[in-house]
Amino acid sequence: MKMVYLDNNATTAVAPEVVEEMLPYLRDHYGNPSSMYGMARQTALKIRESRARVAGLLGASPEEIVFTSCGTESDSTAIWAAIRTTPLKRHIMTSRVEHSAIKNLYEYLAHNGYRVTFVPVDGKGRLDLDYLYDHLSEDTAVVSLMWANNETGVLFPVAEVAREVKARGVVFHTDAVQAVGKIPMDIDRTDIDLLSLSGHKLHAPKGVGALYVRKGTKFTPFMIGGHQEGNRRGGTENVSSIVALGKAAELAAGLLEEENTRVKALRDRLESGILAAVPHAIINGDTEHRLPNTTNISFEYIEGESILLMMDELGICASSGSACTSGSLEPSHVLRAMGVPYTAAHGSVRFSLSVYNTREEIDYVIEKLPPIIERLRAMSPFWKSAQAG
Ligand code: PLP
């Protein structure tokens, strides 16, 4: 059966060039990078190259990159470092639409003595900047904002916010897991202190990530152990995955242009094709400031999960809400924070593309999806009463 993979915000295929680059570090070069002989030194040198490649994608210096096991670890490391290095401050801020990696950590901290401000968004998922600035105080330890929303693709103006936040002496972290490799970045020119990224969102394998730590930022490790990563993250390095992340970063830098032209055009084609064929379909989120690969569409009066199951029978992979929340019937906290009505939030589907998608695949989805929606609506009491009323 044909397979059309449109769930790249959940995870991505490992690029063939990445597999090629990492394999020798699983098969042949197994030396511990901390050891003293030639084979081990070679792995240490390769890690150094990977660090420079990741730094290159961000516009950072290699010493500012700390390899971790995933985006979640990078997020936790950043927030714990920010609060442990400012022990007298008891207030922390984030938005209401963060990924669970930040959301659940902040909720944990709220139950453990921290005063937490969750900044609201408007109906298009845009941050309420006045609310944010009004709630900053002498007591604020850290502001953490995602660069791009994983469900809607909406971009927050993190560089602008970082400038304001830093001017008031507060640490600024961004969860850039969905943004890295999809939009250009020049982190050195911003006031961002800490930035999280994850390998499996940019065609490296699962289980590797990185944290950018601006030179001079106060830091304390999350994983306390050996001297790896310049004393910033204990634990023997996951060499092959770090090599993979380095290669993926290099590839992503070369594909940024394509991501923002061809992939964006495919996303727009998908979106307009669906909207033209399906009544009561609504795009969720700000379409102006958005990732080039993502669209989140609500099909009113039906369940997103049913749409996914029927698309799956035709080989189409997409997502309703974020992968982590599927399995629960609660509509996504992101769409709820945006005030999307229940009838629309329940029927939301996220399509997220990559450079591996083709026009033929998009046309296949545009052809197959409308009859699915029609069949589901024919069975939906909500649709029938909306039509009658
Ligand atoms: N932050 C965002 C915005 C994400 O989309 C994800 C994964 O979906 C994460 C953090 C967590 O990354 P990881 O799966 O590497 O832990």
Going by the DSSP 8-state scheme, the letter that residue 156 receives in this structure is P
The set of residues, in sequence order, having a beta carbon less than 8 Å from that of 348 and lying 6+ positions away, is: 284, 296, 297, 298, 299, 304, 320, 321, 331, 332, 335, 340
Residue 8 has pLDDT above 70, yes or no: yes
Which residue lies with its CA nearest to atom 12 of ligand 1? 71
Reading the block at residue 161, the tokens are: 């916010």
pLDDT of residue 328: 57
For 327-373, how does the pLDDT look when each residue is reduced to its tens digit (9 = 90+)? 556 789 999 999 999 989 999 999 999 999 999 999 999 999 999 99
| Position 191, amino acid | D
- Print burial letters for 231-267: b (CB count within 10 Å at least 16), e (below 16): ebbeeebbbbbbbbbbbbbbbbbebbeebbebbbebb
Q: What is the pLDDT of residues 233-279, one digit of tens each?
A: 999 999 999 999 999 999 999 999 999 999 999 999 999 999 999 99
Q: Where are the alpha helices (DSSP H) in 283-358?
A: 304-313, 333-337, 342-345
* pLDDT > 70 fraction of the chain, expressed in percent and rounded: 98
Per-residue model confidence (pLDDT) at position 1: 78
Backbone angles phi, psi at 136, to 5 degrees: -65, 140
Q: Which domains does the chain have, with CATH numbers?
A: 4-11+255-388 (3.90.1150.10), 16-251 (3.40.640.10)
Give the residue carrying structure tokens 């005063």.
115
Determine phi and psi for 211, rounding to 5 degrees: -125, 125
Mutate to test the pocket of ligand 1, among 72, 104, 144 (most ligand atoms within 8 A of CB): 72
Reported pTM: 0.97
Instruction: Give the catalytic positions in this structure.
Output: 324
Nearest residue (by CA) to ligand 1, atom 14, is 71
| Closest atom of ligand 1 to CA, residue 74 | 16
Confidence of residue 324 (pLDDT cuts 50, 70, 90): very low
pLDDT digits (tens, 9 = 90+) for 101-117: 999 999 999 999 999 99
Question: With bands split at pLDDT 50, 70 and 90, how would you rate the model's confidence at 325?
Answer: very low
Give the SS3 label for residue 215: coil
